[in-house]
């Protein structure tokens, strides 16, 4: 990591291949809350900033970062995979000398679950917002037009244009690599408590997807809040207050001792 003079400065974690992960960190007490964003979302989103503001007021330790090929982090978008994003999340966890609470939104929920499986001794709680585990296979691929699927299979990629996300490539590599990280085909053994906030009106990740996740989670307490009228963003003032209190509760319930750095 690079040094910084204050909590508001961007810092960077250098990965073994020379790529860098950009992050911002707030000093505080207790387990570090780590924000893990969604697909093509950077760390400047509404929910990430709301949690950072709460961290500064409430004295939390907090970190938000950009995935590989997102935001200020480096990387070629066409080389991005679920496995790469998982490895980078684990690297962020490993950079912190203490327990962590993972807060994952949409794709970030999938990455949070994978990271919790990889580092069970470090992760003491998860808060998931409209989690999109297995989305490449269960949600995205079936939602593509037939000509888009054919182009991916034939040419190795296709470019899609999506409102709010712009134009970007979807690669066969991403879809094929993701098959090795599927979670919903069997039990998910996570001992840490999991709190899921799911919008009933989410048109991107249907609420039934969260129900299936709850059925697969084994080993720890699981709470699911189905939010009437809630969309995929869950970023209204009420939604943000609910998220902050969910994270506060998860931090407070953590009883595990800090790891030595």
Would you name the residues annotated as active-site residues?
A: 106, 202, 232
Inter-residue contact 139 to 209 (CB < 8 Å):
yes
List CB contacts of 64: < 8 A, sequence separation 6 or more.
23, 24, 34, 35, 37, 43, 48, 51, 52
Token pair for 120: 């069970």
Q: Helical H runs in 146-236?
A: 146-155, 172-178, 207-216
- The span from the CA of 229 to the CA of 90, in Å, is 34
Helices (H), 169-256: 172-178, 207-216, 237-253
Q: Determine phi and psi for 242, rounding to 5 degrees.
A: -65, -40
How far apart are the C-alpha atoms of 215 and 14, rounded to whole Å?
37
């Amino acid at each position: 990591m690079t040094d910084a003079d204050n909590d508001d400065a961007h810092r960077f974690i250098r990965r073994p291949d020379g790529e860098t992960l950009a992050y911002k960190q707030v000093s505080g007490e207790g387990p570090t809350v780590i924000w893990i964003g969604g697909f093509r979302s950077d760390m400047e989103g509404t929910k990430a900033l709301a949690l950072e503001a709460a961290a500064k007021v409430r004295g939390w330790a907090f970190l938000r970062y950009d995935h590989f090929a997102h935001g200020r982090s480096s990387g070629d978008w066409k080389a991005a995979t679920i496995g790469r994003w998982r490895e980078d999340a684990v690297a962020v966890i490993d950079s912190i000398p203490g327990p962590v609470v993972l807060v994952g939104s949409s794709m970030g929920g999938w990455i949070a679950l994978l990271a919790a499986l990889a580092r069970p001794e470090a992760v003491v709680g998860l808060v998931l917002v409209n989690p999109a585990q297995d989305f490449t296979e269960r949600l995205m691929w079936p939602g593509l037009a037939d000509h888009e699927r054919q182009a991916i299979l034939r040419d190795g990629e296709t470019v899609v244009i999506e409102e709010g996300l712009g134009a970007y490539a979807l690669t066969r590599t991403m879809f094929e690599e993701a098959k090795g990280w599927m979670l919903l085909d069997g039990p998910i053994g996570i001992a840490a408590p999991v709190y899921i906030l799911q919008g009933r009106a989410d048109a991107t990740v249907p609420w039934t997807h969260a129900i299936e996740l709850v059925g697969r989670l084994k080993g720890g307490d699981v709470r699911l809040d189905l939010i009437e009228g809630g969309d995929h963003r869950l970023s209204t003032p009420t939604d943000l207050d609910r998220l902050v209190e969910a994270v506060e509760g998860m931090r407070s319930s953590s009883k595990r001792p800090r790891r030595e750095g």
